Each structure stands twice: as structure tokens, then as C-alpha cells.
Structure 1
Amino acid sequence: MARKQRHQNSHGHTSKQLAEQQSPMVKTAMEYHRSGHLDQALIIYEQAYSVDPENAEINYLLAVLNNQLQNLERAHKYIDKAISINNRNGPFYCALAETYRQQHDFLPAITTLKKAISLDNHSVEPHIMLGMIYKSMDRLDDATNAYQAALVIDSNIAEIHNNLGNVYRNKNDFERTIKAYKKAIEIDNRFAGAHHNLGCYLLETGDPYNALSFLRNASQLQADNSLFTADLANCLGQVVVTETDERLRDDLIRCMQLDRVDGGTLAKNVNVFLKQFTPLGKLIGEIEKDIFNPLSPETYQLLVDPLFLLYLEREQICDPELEKILSTSRKIILEMSVLESHSIGPNIERFLSALALQCFLNEYIYIENESERSKLKILEERIHENIQGNSEQLCVVLVYACYRPLYTLHLDNSLMDLVSSSAEASSREVFKRQIKEPLTENELKQNIKQLTSITGEMSSIVQAQYEQNPYPRWLYCDHPQSTSLADYLYSLFPASERGNNNLPDRVNILVAGCGTGLQPIRDARRFLHENITAIDLSMNSLAYAKRKATEMGLENIEFMQADIMNLKDYNNRFDFIESFGVLHHLEDPLAGWKVLCRLLKKNGVMRLGLYSEHARKAIVATRRYIQQQGFTDNLEGIRLCRQAIFALAEHDPVRSVTDSPDFYSVSECRDLIFHVNEHRLTLVQVADYIKQLNLEFLGFEFPDFHTIRKYQECYPEDKQALNLELWDAYEQANPETFASQYVFWCKKIED
């Protein structure tokens, strides 16, 4: 990321020099401009213009400001006028070039900057701008030369070294990239962008430990920059926690609080930190010795650890031992809450609300016995009989919310008000998630269109599963920087030629099998697009997706109920189709893939996720075990099955499924090991399907670069990593490579 361009009146004239030449009115506007109060600056500049419209500098300043506000037509008008008044001023041409640059009109921008250089070859700004434009055009040698020319004029500008590092990064020149970023930091240690760039580059190249300090610096220097915090979270997800560090606790808390961070990124290290480097870990031993009491003052203080509470509220717990702490705490608090002689008191509201949020998030997957069920009935009766409207009554309601969603309790208005108006934010969140959001989803279902009927027997069976358990339940997701699909593909596959993809800047997107909306929402944030159509079999999943999209202000995603197999007569065509984790649940995956190919425009691209035969051997063994043991796929059957698997020996291959995050919520566990229909493929089969469908394989998508590097060490002859036969051999030797799915891109080369 390049640092934000300096205030453009630094082109040739400093702000001070300009201010000395201008009226008090313009000086005031420049102060507003310099301090970032752009609207106020614009008003005063325009007033000054109305007094003196032939003042070249005022026209220039208005052009600079309108460029910043992306009012490009107005910027063009003002700078053209400034140049017509004075055509010997280099900074004026730089401002015009900036207008061209923002319009992606690069050739006139280059010509204009060369004019600026001819007028004043001692100014660094036109050289810096040339470097930025050449980099945007992938003319990396020209960009290097432009930045080197700027360094000849002034080698002590951090921005130039940082931008040069970005060019070397695109050239895959590791040593020069590192050197350039470090030089930028040496010149200006508070340059957050350079710390961020160096951290991200070290992370990309497999060095998360050294990356961490630079990404931490960037996040601290710009605490309000959510992108920097999100990248810090990504790094934290890749390091292995080996020692206690209070900075790490602070990092984890800051990242977990950010709505654009997927908490799953951090879950593993939060688990490790809590269990190994806080006293929380000792509670596991107390449970085993049957001396655990969650309401004892000492124990309760451990349960309200701020990081633990945040984890409970925002991300499902994916750890058997922490699950044991939570399920045992729930059971003991329930027992105490129904004793006539005992009051659970209002002081545990904070933990209870967090636990209620966790249980709702995992869809009440924790095992419960008959004693708990009978006590829960007593609790329900007491809630309705003793409407006291105090904080102790609120805690009793929260105990219920740890076992069943509050919308099943049919609270009267006074109790509803008690929960929704609590002074504790997490209790208000319980009301929001367990009452308000389900009601919203029921309302949204009424307005979701049905694009096709659902007629096939297998489609109906799969639909029923996801109506019962919309998948997945999620709260927060990453918020990637918006880019064109073409540029995104180039970032994934740098060896490809960006100019040959023939994709429009703004694409029409189909997400086939959108579930609860995570993929179309990510696509809406990531890609410049015209329209997004998102379809799914399950109306309950679509309602969840629609609610989340509405909450995030994404109104241009059209959610519709449809069966992929009934889209044969659908007339729309798309530039990009995504079907992630869907085709392998169809009765005939190839037939479904063919339908999607028909909907893809020529030169359009697809992103697919398909199950691997080699990677899912443990899942196959688990499905066989479930069948042999006779576990059913309802809530009670899933609970009993999980307890049986937890009890298996550590070396049992079936027990390895407990390592999957999907094992820790009802919908995800059902999808993982109880799905009604699942196909698995090998890469030899995938290659055959791609050939049958006349598609071009573009490459695999991995969360980092480690797998590609390992593969290319084994098969250096496959420089672009596109040989699926070699990948099949690699996977057989490394069966965990595609543990989640084969995630890959392909292109339609002809209709």
C-alpha cells in the first residue's frame, strides 16, 4: 500500500509559500484543507473563486481538493483553467495528471507528468506519480526508473523507498523489497504504511514471526485503520504461541473486537493462550477431580477473563476441554438456580450472557441429561410465575438462554424489556440474537423470490437438512479491499497475463449455493460488480443471508430460492460464478457443473470448492462409524455421537474429526459427518471434468503461499503449478493438502 499522497500543493510550491501569496480567506481554506476538513475548505475556496475566478492558484487548489473528493469533472475544469492562465507551472500539470490517473487514463497522465518534469526537473513529485502510474500499468522497469530518478533528487523521502519496495515486490525480488521497506522505516519510523507493507510481505513469504512486530507497529501507529488490524489478525492466526506475552493478549483482544475480522482466524491461538498462559487451564483439572464450582469467587474471576468473554461472545469455541468447562458451568448454575434455598445472584450476569451467546452460536450442541431437562422445565415455570423485573430474575432468564433460544420462552413484555434494556451490553446482545434477529428473518422470508421449483428427490432431501440447520451460522467476516476481478485473479496467479482475461471492470456474479450469505457478502465487498445473484435451496438460509447483507448495507445482492438443476432454462449470463462446497452434494456433480457452465459467459471464470477423496478418509471412517453405531442426524443424535467420539482413544482415526472447527456446532457438525449426500473426487477426476466441459484450469487458491512453494520444490518443471496429474501425486504424498476442499479457478474458453 502506498502512503496517501501528500497534499498536492507540495508540487513545487509548499503550502507555506502558497499561503504567503494568498488572501486571508484562502489561507483559512488552506488550513482547513491541510487539517482534513475538506468540506469546509471547499466552501471557502469556492467563495474565494467567486471573488477572483482568474486566480490560477485558487483554481489549482480547487482542482487538488476535487481530486481528493473524487469530483473528477470539476477537478478537470479547474486545473484546465489554471493551466490556461499559467502554463509554466509544474505542480499544475501534476494536478492534471492526478485527475487522469484517477480516471485510469494513464497515457495522457504520463505525457502530462513529463511536461511537469520538463518545467521543473528538481521536483520529486512528478517522478513519484510516474512511478505509481507505471506500476498500475505493470510497467515495472519504468516504475523502478521513475522512483530511482526521484531518489537522485532526494533520497531521504520514506514514501519513495516504500513505493519502490512495492515495485520490487511485484518483481518477486525478495532482497530489494525488504531493503526498500526497511529504508523507508529507517527514514520515518512512524510510517505505518511501510511497517504494514513489510509485515505483509514477510507474512506472504512464510515468516509470520518477524512479520508480527511490523504489523503490530502498523496497527498501533494507526489504531483506527481496520485493514491494518485485520492483517495483524491474519498474522496472529499463523504464528504458534509458545510463551506468554501480554502484548499478545492485547493484540488478540484488539483483533477480536473488530467486526471485519473472522474470529476463526484467531481461534486456535486464543485457545492456546487461554489454556496454557492463563489460570483458566487449571479449571480442567478441577472438573476431573469433581471440585469445580463456577460460582466460587476465585473460579468466577477466571471465567470473566476479558479475552475469554470476548471469545465466547464472538466465535464458537472449538476445543473439547473448554467445552467441558462451559457445559459443566452451565449444568451447575442451572442446578443452583432451581434450588429454593439458593440464589444465583445478579453478579454472574456478565458470564451468563456470554455463555448464552456461545450456546446459541453453536446451536446448543452441548450434551444435556434428563436431570437438566427436568430442571429446565422448573426454571421455565418460575420465570413465568415470578415476574419480578430485577437483575436476579434477568440472570434466571439468561440461564434458560444457555439451554434454549429465548424466542421459545414466549416472554411477556416486562421480561422482554428486562433483557433488552439491561445495563450489560452482552445481555442486550442476547436479546438481539435470540429474539430480534429470528423475528427479522421470519419477516424477510416473505419477500424472498423463488426463482425455480425444487423438484428432484435429492434436492428436496438436502433442502430439508438446511432448512433445519442453516449453514453456517456466522457473525463477522473479513472485509477485503475492493478490486476488479481481473486484478484479483492476477494477485492469485501472477504468472498469468492480466491483459488476456477479457473481464469487464464491473462484473455480474452468480453465487450458486450461497447458504447463509458469507460468500456473496465477501464477493460484494471484494469485487467491483454490477449485480450479484445468490441462490440456495434453503429459505431459512436465505433469510439469514439477507439479514446479514442488510445489516452490512449491501442492498445490491439479490437472494433467491432455486435448485441448480432447474436453472437449465434461466436466461441470465454471468462473468463470474462461484459455487463453493455445493456441487459435491448434488445427485450428479458433473450435471450441476454443466448447468453452471451454460450460465457462464465466454471468458468468464468460476471459483469452485469440491471435496477430496484423499483428504476425507477420516470423514469417511467417521460416517461409517456413525452408521454402525446407529446415531441419528437430529440434535440428540448429534450430541450423543460427539460424546462417543470424544471418548475414543487418541490414536483412533475417527477421533481426528474433533480437530475440525466444524465439529463444534450443530449445523456444521451435521454438514461435516452427517450430510445426507456427499461425493468426493480425485484430481484426476477433476481434470477429466474440466476437459469434458471445455474449461481452462487457472490454478488452486490457498490461504498462503507455503503449499505452492512446497509443491514447486517437488515439481520445479511445473512453473505455473497447473498440472493436475502432478498435483494428484503430490496430494497422495501429502493427503492433508486439501483437507477442507479443492478450491480452484477455471475459465470458459468458448461457448
Structure 2
Amino acid sequence: MRHASQALTRLDPLDTGDSPSLSDLERQARHCYDQSLSSRVSNEHTVQYRGQARDLALRMLELAPDHAAALNLLGRIALDEGFYDSAETLLEQALAHNGRDAGCCFSLGHVKLALRDYDAAIRLFTRALELAPGETRAASSLVYTFARQGKMTQAFSGYRKLFRVHPDDPHIRSQLFDVARHIQADTYQPELEADVVGWLKLDDVDHDGLARLAASLLKHKYHLDDPDAVIDLQDLVRDELLQLALSRLYFTNAELESFLVMVRKQLLLHSLAGQFSDTALLRLAAAFCMQAAHNEYVYAIDEDEQSLVIALRDLLHSTLQSRPQPQPADLLSALLMYGMYEPMAELPASERLLEIATNRWPSYARPVITHCLAGPHAELREAARIERLTPIQDEVSLKVQAQYEESPYPRWLHLGYNTPTNYGRALEAELEGYRAPQFFNMGTIKVLVAGAGTGRHALRIAKYFRNVEVTALDLSARSLAYAKRMAQRHHLRNLRFLQGDILELDHLQERFHVIECSGVLHHMDEPEAGLTQLLPKLEDKGVMKIGLYSEAARHRVVAARQWIEECGYGTSRADIRHFRANLMAGRLGSQVDGLLESPDFYSTSGCRDLLFHVQEHRFTPNQLSQMLQTHQLDFLGFALPTDVRRAYTEANLGKLTDLSAWDQFEQQHRDTFAGMYQFFVQRH
């Protein structure tokens, strides 16, 4: 940080003895502004660099009134600080004097984007591209605006073209995959398949967004909607898309799952019949092992398969017991067949498999050994080392802890990418009319993620918000171990992991600028007791993000939970498999069919969390209002997808912060908050 201070001193325009030229002032102003955007500088230095850039731009205007570069810079600074009206005025002034300035068009486009005037933003980004055809940022911003408008097909096409020109741009990659979540192929398209295969081969990206698209391509490629379609296993073992998708994606499609369950059985039977002599079948089995780990072995197993899986388990156990130094050749085939159905890390004596050096396994099996075997064992060791902050003694807390120790949730594969930003500015962009407290611009921002689970959100905060220190708290040491392992993989050091109970937070002698508690309070015996414990840990004017279940949106879940209770299902993996099979076969009635649309339905921990949780409370917007009044909290607004925000605005029911209006809206649109209410509050 000393170097940043020295740079600020050197560039202080008031300390110079000479009268700098306009070009010198512009060069220094641009340098200061660029430094203010760097993720490597502190919040204080960001403010200082921005202030210096502003001073320099004002001096430029003294020398040349209406200078486009100076007005553009002042407009960008106002935009960064959330003063959209000022930014708009400055940039319109610049364009009034020089309508052919591509940079000013680009900047004003972002102001219009922030104001959600998407049509104006599109016109300005298009104009910027006409004036400067090679400007990638304008092209990317134009396509991003299409996505914000909900024009996902147009946005996908645009990002696909941009990726071909800029395949290494992390922002374009991230936005492409994010938009792809909304895209399904209408037919089998070989060119699109080739693109998806290429994207799946990329490292350090969030492939999850490709799952829906890949599933639709496979559906059309193999005519899954045709009951008379003939599928040759030899075609499948040569299918690069299938193998990559199985290895890297988590599928959430019932039709594809039924297909994969059928293929898995054929793969097992053909491999046994051929005495495991076909390496191509083993490669496909390795991909199925990875998919099984991703969904936590949730696929149904019929009686024939079950008897074979038990025989494979016994064979592996006896081999491990009888061989002083087991070799890959002794184990590989049976291990891959077994791993398609059950966790190989839970095999008796499975730790002996780790005695075999990874490089001694065939190359196609190494990811399986690392992910499905070594990873879970490392997780258990790491769980024993997680720092314990509080005792866990509440009866419900102990039950919830046991559930998540058995099934850490959610299992995630990729962290994704975002442009690093200031937490306060992100809040202002999300919440209409909100001005963030000044502390977001000063010093380190302390964030508590209460109920961090397996840590994806905590890690994203640590990586993509500037100058934050994150404390991740959870009941489950196993979940935190998963999070810690992923933090090490992503080289993140601004996190700490604590096992503890929110109900015992007196043990935590700290206060935080931000507390995020999503999907946690509604699993407590008394949700407001948890909120009461969290509030003393929040700084004055601090912000809390809360996630709670919606009564209206959980109607299918309530019906399913009644079925589960009536049928006597437990929470074991086997019971979850049986329940899912009955639901997918249509045996539980149409009122629960909508559960097939929930991504949580397609993994063991997700399904357990969705339908088998030991404790659940649900709320209405009016109940939220009452709770917030009781605790003297201001409702700042929901985190909303663009389509929901648009629908609410068009309904003309009231302000976005009017919970009684949201209550009316939700009565008409029951599935609006199918995930959860995600909302922000602030202390009076």
C-alpha cells in the first residue's frame, strides 16, 4: 500500500510547479482514473485516485470548456459513484458539442443502462460501434443490454460471435455461459454442438451455464422424445459432447436423466459381458462416475443393478484386503463400474486406493480418482481441522447439522467470473434509489456469511468485491471443509471458516458492515431468534441480506412433504432415490410435477434440502414487513431478475420497496419467489 501512497503523491496536480498542457492533464487524469478501477488498491486509495482524476478533469475544462475527454471522465466518475443524473448531464453536454465522440457515446450508454433505459443504451452502444468499429467494450455492452432486456437468443448469438474473436476474454466467457442458461436447442445443430464441446474444454470457467443447452442438444441428437428411437452404445462411447458433459456438468433434466439411467445399465451389462475388455466402455464409465459424484448418486437403481453393485463392492473389498500392494489393473474396471452407482470413497478400506500414485492410473481415470476418491477423503480430514467457534446444543441445530454433515449442500463445481467491484456500488446498482454508507469507500469491509454451507457465495464475495474480509460460519464442518478446499483451489486468502451456531453468536466478538444470511433462518425452530442474535453483530447503518422461503412459491414442496410423510420415507439416499423415481413416474399426482423444474431435485443433498429438511418455515411479504418492523429494520428491496422487475413495474402496484404491494403481486404470480425471497435490510 506504501507504493500506492507514493504514486498518489507523485501525481498530485496541485504540487506541480509548471503549467501542464491539456494533453499532460488528460494523460494524468486517465492514469488516475484507471488506477481507481484497479482491484489491487484499497477503498481509500480508490476514492483518492478518483478525486485526483476529477480535479485534473476540472482543470482541463478551465483550459478548454466543453472538452469531450474531460466531460467524459467526469461523467464516468459520477457514474461510478452512483450519481446517474449528474453523469447523464455531463455526457449529454459532451455529445452536444461533439456528437462523434465514441467514448462519450459508450459512457452515456452505461448511464442509460444503470437507469434501465435499455432502448437508449442500445442506440448509444450502436452509435459507439459505428464510430469505432473495433471497440470490443461497446460490442460487449450492446450484447449485455440485449440480455438485460430479456432478449436471450439475441444476446447468446452476440456473445457467441464475440467469443470467436476474443476467446480469452474472461468477461465475454462469463457472460456467454450466463446467457446460455436460458438457451435450449430446438433441433440438433452440429455447429452448435462443436461450439459447446469447445467451451466444455475450457479451464477456469463456470461450465454450469451450459448444462441446459448441452442437455437439449443430446435430447435432439438421440431423439429422446421418440420411444422407438434406436440408440447404439458404440455411438455413445464415441460421443465427445456426451462424455465432456457427463464429466463437467450437473444435469437437471428429467428426460435426460431417464436416458442416462438406461445407458448406465447397458454400459454395466456390456462391460460385464465383455469382461471389461473394451477400453472405450471404461472411458464412458469414468465419465458416468464424474456425473454420479456431481449429483451425489441420486439416480435410481433397479433390483438387477443393485445385486451387481453389491457383488462389485464385495469384489473390490476382497481385492483390497487380499493384496498387500493393490495395482490399478486389479481394481480399475470394477471400481469404475461401482463408481457409476455408489460413492467409491465409502467403500470399505477405500483409503488403500489412495496408496496408489495417481499417475499409475490410466489418464481417463485420474480425474475420477482425484474428484471421487481423494477429494472426499481430504474433505473429511479438513473437517476435523475447522476452527470451532461456538458450542452446538440447540435440538433443531443438532438435527440440521447432522443433515449437512451427511450431505453438504450445495455441491458446486465452478466459481464463475465477475468484474471486481465495490460492495456499496453493487448495492446501489441493485436497489433503486439506495445510497450506500460511506464506510464502503473506507478501509476493509467486513462481511459475515452466516450459514455459508459449501461456500460458493462466500468465495464469490471474497474474490469479486474489493477490500473485503469474509467470515464464513456454518453448523457443518464437512460443508466448511468443502468450502475451504475450494478456497485453496482459487488461491483466496481473505476468508476464514468457523463452525458454529447462529444462536450462540455471543462467542463472536466482532461487528460486520455486511451480514448475509440466506436460506438459514427458516430452518431454525424460531427464525426471529436467529435474527435477534445476528443484529448486534451488524455495524450502524450496516446492511443485511436475508433469504427466506415463500409460502406461495412452496405450495408444491408442501404437497410433496405430505406425500413423504404419508409414505414413510426417511432421509437416506435410498429413500430419496425411491421417492424421486415415484415422482418422475407420475405416481404422486400432478400437483407435485412442478418439482421437476427445480435444480435441487437433481442431487441428493439438493433434494434432501428441498423436500426432506428436518425444519422449515415459510413467509409472506406481509409477514416479512411485520418482522422487519419488530426488529427496527428498513426494507431496501428484493434482489430481482430482470423479468420479475419488469412484470412488477408493469403491474403498477407500488414502489419496489412496498411489501404490501408485493403481497398482492405474489398472490397473482405464485412462483415469483420459487427459490427464496432474497432481500436487503438496513438498521434504522
Whether TM exceeds 0.5 here: the answer is: yes
Give the aligned length.
Answer: 666
Change (3 A) 1:299 1:440: closer
- Is residue 666 of structure 1 aligned with residue 598 of structure 2? no
Decide whether aligned partners of structure 1 residues 335 and 747 sit closer, same or farther in structure 2, where only a CA change above 3 A counts.
same
Please list the CA deviations of residues 312-364 of structure 1 after superposition, one character each: whole Å capped at 9, or x if unmatched. 1122222223222222232233334444x644411223311110001112121
Gap change, CA 1:310 and 1:365, over 3 Å in 2: same
Q: Secondary structure at the match of 1:576?
A: strand
For residue 589 of structure 1, what is the aligned residue in structure 2? 527
Specify the alignment match of 2:312 in structure 1.
379
| 1:535 CA displacement | 1.1
The reply on whether 1:735 has 2:670 as its aligned counterpart is yes
What does 1:360-439 align with in structure 2 at a 5 Å threshold? Answer: 360-380=293-313, 384=319, 394-409=332-347, 410=349, 417=356, 420-422=359-361, 424=363, 426-439=364-377
Q: In the alignment, which residue of structure 1 is the partner of 2:412? A: 474
Distance of 2:438 and 2:276 partners within structure 1 = 71
2:658 maps to what in 1? 723
Distance of aligned partners of 1:732 and 1:335 in 2 relative to their CA distance in 1, 3 Å threshold? same
The 1-side partners of 2:81 and 2:225 are apart by 58
How far is 1:87 from its partner? 2.5
Tell me, in whole angstroms, the C-alpha distance in 2 between the residues paired with 1:247 and 1:315.
20
Moved more, 365-374 or 242-251: 242-251
Q: Does 1:169 align with 2:78?
A: no
Inter-partner Cα distance in structure 2 for 1:143 and 1:682 = 38
Does 1:355 find its partner at 2:278? no
1:41-120 aligned at under 5 Å gives the runs 72-76=4-8, 84=16, 86-98=18-30, 100-101=32-33, 102=36, 103=45, 104-105=47-48, 106-119=50-63
Please give the alpha-carbon distance, in whole angstroms, between the structure 2 residues aligned to 1:415 and 1:463: 29
Deviation (angstroms), 1:490: 0.4
Contact 2:383/2:481 (<8 A) preserved: yes
Secondary structure of the 1:728 match is helix
Kindly provide the CA deviation profile for residues 112-155 of structure 1, in whole angstroms up to 9, marking residues without a partner as x: 22333555679754444333233334454554565456557765
SS of residue in 2 equivalent to 1:697: strand
Task: Please point out which of 710, 723, 731 is paired with 2:647.
Answer: 710
- Normalising to structure 2: TM-score of the pair? 0.89
Structure 1 distance, partners of 2:2, 2:195, is 35
CA apart distance, 1:171: 4.0
CA-based RMSD of the aligned residues comes to: 3.2
Whether 2:172 is the aligned partner of 1:234: answer no
Give how far 1:206 is off: 2.3
Does 2:263 match 1:329? yes
Higher CA-based Rg: 1
| Shift in alpha-carbon separation, 1:330–1:263, aligned structure 2, 3 A | same
In structure 1, the partner of 2:250 is 316
2:212 to 255, 260, 268: 268
Does the residue aligned with 2:413 lie in a helix, a strand or coil? Answer: coil
CA apart distance, 1:690:
0.6
Quote the sequence identity (%).
29
Letter in 2 for 1:279: Y
The counterpart of 1:616, out of the listed 523, 548, 554, is: 554
Secondary structure in 1 aligned to 2:433?
coil
Which blocks of at least 5 consecutive residues in structure 2 are unaligned? 37-44
Q: Which runs of 5+ in 1 are unaligned?
A: 1-68
CA distance in 1, matches of 2:103, 2:580: 55
Query: Per the alignment, in what secondary structure is the counterpart of residue 266 of structure 1?
Result: helix
Q: Which shows bigger deviation, 381-390 or 523-532?
A: 381-390
Counterpart of 1:300 in structure 2 is 237
Distance 2:13 2:614 in 1: 69
Is it true that 1:574 corresponds to 2:550 in the alignment? no
State the match for 2:42 in structure 1: none
CA distance in structure 2 between the aligned counterparts of 1:598 and 1:414, rounded to whole angstroms: 49
| Alpha-carbon distance change, 489 to 726 in structure 1, aligned in 2, over 3 angstroms | same
* Structure 1 residues 81 and 608: alpha-carbon distance in aligned structure 2, compared to 1, 3 A threshold: closer
SS in structure 1 at match of 2:224: helix
1:169, distance to aligned residue in structure 2 (A): 2.6
The 8 Å contact of residues 276 and 282 in structure 2, kept in 1 or not, is answered as no
Letter in 2 for 1:528: R
Which structure has more relative contact order (CA 8 Å, sep 6+)? It is: 2
Check whether the contact 2:571–2:612 (CA below 8 A) recurs between aligned residues: yes
Does structure 2 conserve the Cα–Cα contact (< 8 Å) formed by 1:394 and 1:419?
A: no
State the SS of the aligned residue for 1:535. strand
Residue aligning to 1:484: 422
Match of 2:435 in 1: 497
Name the amino acid aligned to 1:491.
A
Alpha-carbon separation, structure 2, partners of 1:189 and 1:496: 36
Match of 2:581 in 1: 643
Q: CA deviation at 1:657?
A: 1.7
After alignment, is 215-224 or 646-655 more displaced? 646-655
Q: Give, in angstroms, the shift of residue 160 of structure 1.
A: 3.2
Residue type at the aligned position of 1:359: A
Distance 1:161 1:247, change over 3 A: farther
Which secondary structure state, in structure 2, belongs to the residue aligned with residue 740 of structure 1? coil
Q: Distance in 1 between matches of 2:638 and 2:210?
A: 24
Contact 1:244 1:273 in 2 (8 A): yes
Post-superposition offset of 1:739: 0.8
**Amino acid across the alignment from 2:26:** C
Deviations 1:422-460 (Å, cap 9, x if unpaired)?
453x52111111222123222322321111111111111
Q: 1:547 aligns to what SS in structure 2?
A: helix
